[in-house]
């Protein structure tokens, strides 16, 4: 009979092999970003906060309500939330985007237009434009009321219209390093939003997933992959990715209805939200390829940060960190709280784990034989 040491050695190998032989997946740590002490209504008991954008340094921006029920912009970094509106003045409204240089863009409070805050703290007002996103060089995209409500870009203080498909309305939501822009636009005689990509002065319709043509493109990475949603033949919003002229459905969550892809990072990881079929509730999700969706709530210890479940993932940086908001424990659907998910190290690929397991098993056999000699 093998000695105690031999048996312990075999058990250790067996446990390691069993732990390694799993399909690759990510799990995350979750951080509740806190709040500014208030909500938008007296009927909402818990404070509200929404995280909208994260850069590769882990700086996060968004908006939160104060005790006086006013929406303020915030910057979260080094474990603390800073009230940008209190710091820079009451004209600073919701923060929409932050680039890797630390430049922030958002909309003005109680006024038409937007603002930027440089990494050094210089505030600049951006005319009549409502900004949605800025790229690494500080190029802003959104919509401009001068046109009216037509997709626009702003560079160096100059706002330029991107036009429409012949209709009266459009807006831009995403932009990459090269300045390629995505969003939606209407066509002549139609109010239906259609997803577009804008490059070299040309606006191109991305097509659809078999529905009425409705859709919005929300983000684009530097490889040119575009994500958003399009109505399918059943009339439900369905998340899509668009690569090299082909639009592909990313599916639904557990046969639910409606999904939307909000953001994509440099490596092609896509996040957004989907309606979970069995529960019927909206959940923050990560898209694992065409037709494969995972609820982010299932990948974290929600209770450790005071969450019941996560409802919306709005951005992801190149380190895989995800921001958005979710429902706190004991809170109503209206009582959203801002979160940060940070990925833990991934389990090795199946081929790798199989190889490691094989080596471990062989080591066990060799060790056991050596003990018998």
76: domain CATH number is 2.130.10.120
Q: How far is CA 196 from CA 162, 163, 175, 243, in A?
A: 11, 11, 12, 13
Q: How far is CA 299 from CA 29, 229, 294, 365, in A?
A: 9, 24, 8, 36
Span of 231-235, 261-265, 280-284, 343-347 with lowest mean pLDDT: 343-347
Q: Do residues 11 and 74 share a domain?
A: no
Q: 3: pLDDT confidence band, cut at 50, 70 and 90?
A: low
Between CA 105 and CA 99 the distance in angstroms is 9
Output the pLDDT for position 325. 98
Q: Do residues 331 and 356 share a domain?
A: no
Q: Do residues 297 and 362 share a domain?
A: no
Q: Do residues 297 and 322 share a domain?
A: yes
| pLDDT over 50 (residue 90) | yes
| pLDDT over 50 (residue 109) | yes
Output the pLDDT for position 273. 98
Prior bond to 296 cis, omega within 30? no
Q: Do residues 218 and 290 share a domain?
A: yes
Output the pLDDT for position 280. 92
The number of residues in the chain equals 373
Structural domain tally of the chain? 2
Q: 366: pLDDT confidence band, cut at 50, 70 and 90?
A: very low
Q: Are 33 and 338 in contact (CB under 8 A)?
A: yes
Q: Do residues 341 and 356 share a domain?
A: no
Highest mean pLDDT (candidates 131-135, 142-146, 355-359, 367-371): 131-135
Output the pLDDT for position 103. 98
Share above pLDDT 70 across residues of the chain, in percent, rounded to a whole number: 85
Output the pLDDT for position 226. 98
Parent domain of 307: 26-346
Between CA 268 and CA 224 the distance in angstroms is 10
Q: Are 325 and 52 in contact (CB under 8 A)?
A: no
Output the pLDDT for position 346. 55
Q: Are 360 and 16 in contact (CB under 8 A)?
A: yes
Span of 37-41, 214-218, 288-292, 341-345 with lowest mean pLDDT: 288-292
pLDDT digits (tens, 9 = 90+) for 217-272: 999 999 999 999 999 999 999 999 999 999 999 999 998 999 999 999 999 999 99
Mean pLDDT in residue range 144-170: 93
Output the pLDDT for position 110. 87
Output the pLDDT for position 162. 97
Q: Are 185 and 168 in contact (CB under 8 A)?
A: no
Q: Do residues 141 and 170 share a domain?
A: yes
Mean pLDDT in residue range 288-315: 93
Q: Do residues 237 and 372 share a domain?
A: no
Q: 9: pLDDT confidence band, cut at 50, 70 and 90?
A: very low
Q: Do residues 82 and 102 share a domain?
A: yes
| pLDDT over 50 (residue 367) | no
Output the pLDDT for position 222. 98
Q: Do residues 184 and 317 share a domain?
A: yes
Q: Do residues 234 and 271 share a domain?
A: yes
Between CA 206 and CA 122 the distance in angstroms is 38
Q: Do residues 301 and 217 share a domain?
A: yes
Q: 127: pLDDT confidence band, cut at 50, 70 and 90?
A: confident
Neighbouring C-beta atoms of residue 257, cutoff 10 Å: 17
| pLDDT over 70 (residue 85) | yes
Output the pLDDT for position 290. 67
């Amino acid at each position: 009979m093998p000695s105690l040491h031999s048996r312990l050695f075999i058990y250790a190998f067996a446990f390691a092999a069993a732990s390694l032989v799993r399909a690759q997946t990510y799990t995350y740590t979750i951080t509740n970003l806190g709040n500014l002490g208030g909500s938008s209504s007296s009927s909402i008991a818990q404070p509200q906060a929404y995280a909208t954008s994260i850069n590769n340094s882990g700086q996060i921006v968004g908006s939160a309500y104060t005790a006086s029920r006013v929406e303020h912009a915030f910057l979260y970094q080094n474990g603390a939330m800073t009230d940008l509106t209190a710091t820079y003045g009451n004209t600073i409204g919701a923060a929409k985007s932050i680039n890797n240089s630390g430049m922030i863009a958002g909309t003005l409070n109680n006024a038409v237009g937007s603002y930027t805050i440089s990494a050094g703290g210089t505030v600049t007002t951006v005319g009549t434009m409502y900004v949605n996103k800025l790229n690494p060089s500080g190029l802003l995209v959104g919509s401009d009321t001068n046109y009216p409500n037509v997709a626009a870009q702003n560079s160096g203080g100059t706002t330029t219209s991107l036009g429409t498909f012949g209709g009266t309305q459009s807006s831009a939501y995403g932009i990459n390093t090269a300045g390629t822009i995505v969003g939606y636009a209407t066509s002549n005689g139609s109010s239906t939003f259609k997803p577009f990509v804008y490059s070299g002065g040309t606006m191109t319709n991305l097509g659809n997933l078999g529905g009425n043509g409705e859709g919005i493109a929300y983000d684009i990475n530097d490889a040119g992959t575009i994500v958003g949603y399009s109505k399918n033949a059943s009339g439900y919003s369905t998340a899509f990715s668009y690569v090299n002229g082909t639009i592909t459905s990313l599916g639904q969550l557990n046969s639910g209805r409606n999904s939307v892809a909000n953001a994509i990072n440099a490596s092609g990881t896509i996040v957004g939200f989907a309606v979970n079929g069995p529960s019927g509730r909206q959940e923050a999700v990560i898209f694992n390829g065409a037709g494969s969706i995972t609820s982010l709530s299932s990948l974290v210890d929600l209770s450790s940060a005071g969450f019941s479940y996560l409802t919306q993932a709005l951005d992801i940086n190149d380190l895989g960190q995800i921001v958005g908001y979710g429902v706190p424990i004991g809170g109503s659907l209206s009582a959203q709280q801002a979160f940060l998910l940070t990925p833990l190290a991934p389990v090795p690929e199946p081929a790798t784990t199989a190889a490691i397991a094989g080596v471990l098993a062989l080591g066990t056999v060799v060790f056991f034989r050596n003990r018998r000699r």
